[in-house]
Amino acid sequence: MDRRISDTTRRGFLKTLAVGAGGYALGSVLIQPMDAMGESLQENLGKVPIEARWAISSDGLVNYQLSNFKALLDTVGRDKFIETVNKNSFFLGTQSAGLAKKFEFTGSGAKSFAAMSTAMVTVYYGPKQEYTIEESTPEKVTVKCVNCAFWNAVQTRKITEDLCSTNSQAWWSGFAQAVNPKLTSTLVKARPLGDSVCEWAIELKA
């Protein structure tokens, strides 16, 4: 057999096969473009409303934080847990004040701080987070959390230890100090301590 004729024929056959396969693939795309190519990232994201994305992301954050707190408590015990969470949450509160400034939250009194802090926690914990603000003056405010995503997650997972009161005190204190060193935030009621709500007393010192 002439080797040149065999190789040429083989190359021609493979070329024909490749062209035919390409034509079949192109035909599939033209006939069923969505099945062949799929939808784009933006098209898929467009099907998920912004509030649903927020709820999903915040739920993930809440459960991640809850798992970390539980693991820390189980590993180091109550005293070390309180020391660590106090330090870290105070720092995160100060950082959150910087983020609030970036979003152009304004004010330095008790009333404006209450509006800023509750807004930032809601950004983190999601659209189901609910607060009431009472005794609202520039010098003194009472803030009550009437629906808390973190506490709800604690109840769902049937965790009985207090994982949030230390964090709630420290984060709000750090936020207050960063907004105005004359502001104080004191956690006076907490659900894990047996109260029906979590409550903070915000004061602007003279």
The pLDDT value recorded for residue 33 is 53
The packing angle between helices 149-156 and 50-76, to 10°, is 60
Which of these, 170, 57, 175, lies nearest to 115 by C-alpha position?
A: 175
Cα(85)–Cα(124) distance, integer angstroms: 17
pTM of model > 0.85: no
Q: 129-180: per-residue pLDDT in tens?
A: 999 999 878 899 999 999 999 999 999 999 999 999 999 999 999 999 999 9
C-alpha dist (Å) from residue 56 to 52, 61, 145, 149, 177: 6, 9, 21, 12, 31
The pLDDT value recorded for residue 138 is 85
Q: 8-61: per-residue pLDDT in tens?
A: 444 553 444 344 444 444 444 445 554 545 678 889 989 999 999 999 999 999
